[in-house]
Structure 1
Amino acid sequence: MLSRLLVLLLLSAPLAADVSFARLKELWGQQRWREAERLIRQTIAEHSEPTDLEGIANSSEAKEMLRQADWPEVQAAYFARLDQAMAARPGNIPYEIHCRGIKEQWARFYVIANGSDFGPVTALDEENTARLQEVVATQGWPRKSEWGERPALAAWLILQHSPDTEFQAEMLPLLEKRLQEKELDGPYFALLYDRVQMRHDRAQRYGSQVRKKPDGGWEPVPPLEDPEHLDALRAGVGLQPIADYLTSIAKVYDKPATRGWFH
């Protein structure tokens, strides 16, 4: 049985209306990778707001694009645009955290798609954690009504992927408070709750942390707080039934090399 614990969160980040996503999907579907790459590079260079483009790498239609040899150069060009945008907005912390969250997602999706070393992503997680700790120390945990949906989600992503387990545990009560204030969506609290529980050798509640079974299927990592009422607990925070969640897991991680990342 695989010892590595996995968690899946499929985040939909829509592209701006004036980004040629329909054209990208057409090119991806026809496996015209060079043309798709040129279009992405052009869009990165010319589009006025780089955060509008975050949905390119994590879209389900991207398929094999992230496995193309030149993708690291495309990603580097996008990261440079994000860095320029952050530098042009000194003191805009929500925007900075949003850009940091986009970069860690693009880096993470690339590694997953290619089965690459997680070392660079871990280094990015450590850097982002340190910055988020500074922000929370002065502002508390962000409210989505003040920061906006995407920047607030980026803060959560940085926390969820942080290697600092004690920081995650310290933040959990703050996120629970934001949940009660309707300033945080239920699935994000649930995913962090389970991760904190697992990292402290305690039972998870919502079954978000999963592992591969000997028969090739997937299951929540035991123990569970209340396995008989798992779907009810998940529904209470807006999560899909566990069977549907495990199906999504399989679509991402169970793939021959020739299949798309999100098949």
Structure 2
Amino acid sequence: MDGAPAPHPAQALAAELRRRFAADQAARGARDWPAMDRVDAENTAWLKSAVAAGGWPRLADVGREGATHAWLLAQHADADPGFQEEALRLLTAAVAAGEALPEHQALLTDRVRVNAGQPQLYGTQYAGDPDSTRVRPHPIEDPERLDERRAAVGLEPHAVYDRRMRGG
């Protein structure tokens, strides 16, 4: 024993979220599809277990960085749509309690809707065109009110986001 105190459970959770986020980003940065699938499966299983044991990671416990890491792990849990839906339900409740970020809820809402074949609400999910040289947003529900919905959750106007997504 080195005499150092054991990390507080919230600190340990934040550290594990940070580690798993780094693995997620490393696989994606390398464009290593098999590694991405493996990391996503491992992270999804771990996040499911962590959420079952202690609920959605709260801002008060893991901070903004940890909350972002938790959201991203759920965002990349596409192979388990049932868990993504549960994560969205828990994240939505955490946003209502001031313990999660509304923009994370918006991004996960769009991901869940697109994965279920529904139009997205916030215009955050894009797909590659068949020629793979360009991206386009998945269908958007009520596009006339898109920027109003985006502003309500702290997202930039869609035209700005769209330019960035298209590499402009």
Which interval holds the TM-score relative to the shorter structure?
A: 0.7 to 0.9
Question: 1 CA distance for matches of 2:64 and 2:119?
Answer: 30
Offset from partner CA, 1:202-239 (integer Å, 9 cap, x none): 121011112356897643211x2211111111111111
State the SS of the aligned residue for 1:148.
helix
Structure 2 residue aligned with 1:175: 91
Structure 1 residue aligned with 2:33: 118
Question: 2 CA distance for matches of 1:220 and 1:185?
Answer: 23
Structure 2 residue aligned with 1:243: 159
Check if 1:102 corresponds to 2:22.
Answer: yes
Q: Which letter does structure 2 place at the counterpart of 1:157?
A: L
Question: 1 CA distance for matches of 2:107 and 2:24?
Answer: 18
Number of aligned residues: 159
Give me the TM-score of the superposition, normalised by structure 2.
0.85
Asked whether the 8 Å contact 1:197–1:204 carries over to 2, the reply is: yes
State the SS of the aligned residue for 2:141.
coil
Check if 1:132 corresponds to 2:27.
Answer: no
Structure 2 residue aligned with 1:230: 146
Structure 1 residue aligned with 2:57: 142
State the SS of the aligned residue for 1:211.
strand
Decide whether aligned partners of structure 1 residues 142 and 214 sit closer, same or farther in structure 2, where only a CA change above 3 A counts.
Answer: closer
Asked whether the 8 Å contact 2:27–2:33 carries over to 1, the reply is: no
Larger Rg: 1
Give me the TM-score of the superposition, normalised by structure 1.
0.56
CA displacement at 1:170 relative to structure 2: 1.3
Offset from partner CA, 1:181-216 (integer Å, 9 cap, x none): 222112111110011011111121011112356897
Question: 2 CA distance for matches of 1:173 and 1:90?
Answer: 27
Decide whether aligned partners of structure 1 residues 214 and 110 sit closer, same or farther in structure 2, where only a CA change above 3 A counts.
Answer: closer
- Aligned CA-pair RMSD: 2.3
State the SS of the aligned residue for 2:122.
coil
Asked whether the 8 Å contact 2:74–2:84 carries over to 1, the reply is: yes
Larger RCO (CA within 8 A; separation ≥ 6): 1
CA displacement at 1:246 relative to structure 2: 1.3
Q: Which letter does structure 2 place at the counterpart of 1:100?
A: R
CA displacement at 1:90 relative to structure 2: 9.7
User: Which runs of no fewer than 5 residues in structure 2 stay unpaired?
Assistant: 1-5
Asked whether the 8 Å contact 2:151–2:157 carries over to 1, the reply is: yes
User: Which runs of no fewer than 5 residues in structure 1 stay unpaired?
Assistant: 1-87, 112-116, 253-263
Question: 2 CA distance for matches of 1:244 and 1:209?
Answer: 14
Decide whether aligned partners of structure 1 residues 94 and 214 sit closer, same or farther in structure 2, where only a CA change above 3 A counts.
Answer: closer
Structure 1 residue aligned with 2:3: none
1:219 is matched with which residue: 133, 136, 153? 136
Decide whether aligned partners of structure 1 residues 213 and 125 sit closer, same or farther in structure 2, where only a CA change above 3 A counts.
Answer: closer
Decide whether aligned partners of structure 1 residues 90 and 236 sit closer, same or farther in structure 2, where only a CA change above 3 A counts.
Answer: closer
Offset from partner CA, 1:52-99 (integer Å, 9 cap, x none): xxxxxxxxxxxxxxxxxxxxxxxxxxxxxxxxxxxx969622211221
Question: 1 CA distance for matches of 2:117 and 2:101?
Answer: 25
Check if 1:206 corresponds to 2:122.
Answer: yes
Matches within 5 A, 1:25-40: none
Check if 1:193 corresponds to 2:109.
Answer: yes
